């Protein structure tokens, strides 16, 4: 057994281990929560907690509010409906999401797949069948290996899956979604890197939500992956009380870039059952993005997106830059809040009325016509 596997085995799964460090925790309420939404925290991630209820604590330690959520639903993105075979979600024409395990090193309390993680097991034969589906659907050009966390699988099983995928000619890109660099950085071993390297073009999107997670250990893990030629992206979730703050997110995004990771998405928290206490109003994320744009290198600014309820896909949300459509151009607001006029001119040096018409329709859709 490898070192990281021993660490995973030592994960905290019972409340008495939490109480040793945090006496204020209520044993019976934690027990109630974990009988429905199980707990799992690696000793490493637990060691990052500095205080009761700090941003790491909130992400990992169960809260009785999880059982008081009356708004959330188990599968808000309709993944089950868009699953032609078990373990695979085929929402977009050219890419599909393959769930290879239901286990993660840490069970994040805000997880989008709370209905599955640590609850419904993934069967090896289902993964095989899902890969067969990919091989039979020519339009799939990219596979996103997800879960659970794919890097909780052993090197051998992971490589078996990668090998099978590599055989599919129409598959051009492999993407892995993993939180291991954040929750169990020792998982990123030389041998793992040696395997991953063989399957380029291979991308990894990891998941950091708070600058306290960007430790020396995480840095080393990310460096090893980047040195293996793997482009790294990051998907964060906007979480109330964890990172819904301009300063915190600025620090997170800047530090990620320094650690060779490009911030990719910032998610509005999904309408998942048991996560209501993490959800911010939509305006919060937009306001944060407005304050970050222009003040931070474009290299470290992610897209703020919401994943449509019902499975309509991800939709980017932007601050309101377009102010007004005038007969000869468009009035915008820049990052400092100053007005900017951009003239619309066609090839003949005249106003391109078609473009302006398009913009007018856009305004109408937004219900801003009255201006």
Positions annotated as catalytic residues are 91-92, 95, 104, 108, 111, 113, 270, 307, 314
Stretch that binds ligand PLP, among 84-92, 120-128, 157-165, 329-337 (CB under 6 A): 84-92
Rounded to 5 degrees, φ, ψ at 30 are -65, -40
Q: Is 91 among the residues that bind ligand PLP (CB under 6 A)?
A: yes
**Up-side HSE of residue 354: CA atoms within 13 Å toward CB?**
2
Site string for ligand PLP, 39-78 (x = CB under 6 A): ----------------------------------------
- Out of 22, 92, 199, 360, the only residue in the binding site for ligand PLP (CB under 6 A) is 92
List CB contacts of 347: < 8 A, sequence separation 6 or more.
none
Euclidean distance between CA atoms 346 and 62, whole angstroms = 59
**Separation in Å, CA 81 to CA 87, 96, 140, 289, 307:** 12, 14, 18, 32, 15
Degrees (nearest 5) of the Cα angle 317, 323, 329?
A: 120
Residue 99 tokens read as 């769930």
337: left (phi over 0), alpha (psi -120 to 50) or beta: left
Among 30, 61, 88, 97, indicate the residue that binds ligand PLP (CB under 6 A): 97
Sites for ligand PLP among residues 125-144 (CB under 6 A): 144
Nearest distance from C-beta of residue 314 to ligand PLP, angstroms? 5
Q: Choose which of 33, 39, 88, 89 interacts with ligand PLP (CB under 6 A).
A: 89
Q: Report whether 62 contacts 34 (CB < 8 A).
A: yes
Which CB atom, from 144 or from 224, has the smaller least distance to ligand PLP?
A: 144
Q: Decide if residue 314 touches ligand PLP (CB under 6 A).
A: yes
The reply on whether position 277 binds ligand PLP by CB under 6 A is no
Nearest distance from C-beta of residue 225 to ligand PLP, angstroms = 18
Given the rule CB under 6 A, which residues bind ligand PLP? 89, 91-92, 95, 97, 144, 314
């Amino acid at each position: 057994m490898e070192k990281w596997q021993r660490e995973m085995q030592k994960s905290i799964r019972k409340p008495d281990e939490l109480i040793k460090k945090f006496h204020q925790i209520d044993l019976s309420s934690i027990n109630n929560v974990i009988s429905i939404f199980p707990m799992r925290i690696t000793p490493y991630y637990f060691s990052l907690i500095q205080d009761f209820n700090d941003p790491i604590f909130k992400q990992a330690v169960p809260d009785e509010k999880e059982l008081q959520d009356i708004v959330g639903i188990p599968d808000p993105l309709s993944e089950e409906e868009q699953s032609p075979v078990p373990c695979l979600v085929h929402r977009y024409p050219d890419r599909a999401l393959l769930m290879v395990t239901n286990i993660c090193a840490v069970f994040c309390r805000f997880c989008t797949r709370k209905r599955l993680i640590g609850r419904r097991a993934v069967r090896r034969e289902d993964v095989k069948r899902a890969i067969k589906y990919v091989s039979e659907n020519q339009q799939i050009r990219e596979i996103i290996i997800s879960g659970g966390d794919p890097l909780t699988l052993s090197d051998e099983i992971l490589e078996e899956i990668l090998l099978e995928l590599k055989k599919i000619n129409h598959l051009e890109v492999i993407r892995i979604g993993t939180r291991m660099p954040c929750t169990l950085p020792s998982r990123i071993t030389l041998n793992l890197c040696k395997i991953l390297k063989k399957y380029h073009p291979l991308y990894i999107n990891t998941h950091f939500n708070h600058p306290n997670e960007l430790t020396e250990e995480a840095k080393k893990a990310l460096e090893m992956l980047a040195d293996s030629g793997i482009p790294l992206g990051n998907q964060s979730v906007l979480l109330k009380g964890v990172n819904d703050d301009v300063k915190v997110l600025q620090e997170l995004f800047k530090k990620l870039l320094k650690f060779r990771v490009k911030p990719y998405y910032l998610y509005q928290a999904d309408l998942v059952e048991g996560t209501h206490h993490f959800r911010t109003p939509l305006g919060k994320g937009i306001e944060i993005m407005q304050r970050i744009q222009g003040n931070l290198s474009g290299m470290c600014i992610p897209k703020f997106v919401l994943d449509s309820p019902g499975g309509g896909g991800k939709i980017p949300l932007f601050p309101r830059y377009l102010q007004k459509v005038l007969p000869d151009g468009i009035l915008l607001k820049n990052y400092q809040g100053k007005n900017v006029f951009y003239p619309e001119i066609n090839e003949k040096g005249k106003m391109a009325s078609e473009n302006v018409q398009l913009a007018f329709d856009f305004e109408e859709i937004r219900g801003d016509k009255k201006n």
